[in-house]
Amino acid sequence: DIQMTQSPSSLSASVGDRVTITCRASQSISSYLNWYQQKPGKAPKLLIYAASSLQSGVPSRFSGSGSGTDFTLTISSLQPEDFATYYCQQSYSTPSFGPGTKVDIK
């Protein structure tokens, strides 16, 4: 099974900050990596698929990069509605998620 890790596990940031979250796979997964946003009490929402493709309707301040084992999600200018938990997920084999990164207000 492919294990996913994320760093940091949490971070505090201010509106307007640039935020970067890292995801690492235990083996190469090419670009089979997706990112989700989840707010408390809500279902996850797809942000990025295939490592760098922006899902329809998602603001362009979200971007993804990476391939192989190392990936990043970047929010170029954090907005109030972006405070949430972010998960990466690999779809190279039996799907697995990272443990999540909680982004809260500084």
Closer to another protein by CB, 27 or 77: give it: 27
In the set 62, 71, 86, 87, which binds another protein (CB under 8 A)? 87
Q: Do residues 11 and 49 touch, judged by C-beta distance below 8 A?
A: no
The arrangement of strands across the sheet holding 19-25 comes to: 4-7, 19-25, 70-75, 62-67
Distance separating alpha carbons of residues 99 and 17, to the nearest angstrom: 23
Dihedral sign, Cα of residue 42, residue 64, residue 79, residue 60: negative
Site string for another protein, 8-47 (x = CB under 8 A): ----------------------xxx-x-x-x---xxxxx-
Smallest gap from residue 21 Cβ to another protein (A): 14
- Footprint of another protein on this chain (CB under 8 A)? 30-32, 34, 36, 38, 42-46, 49-50, 53, 55, 87, 89, 91, 94-100
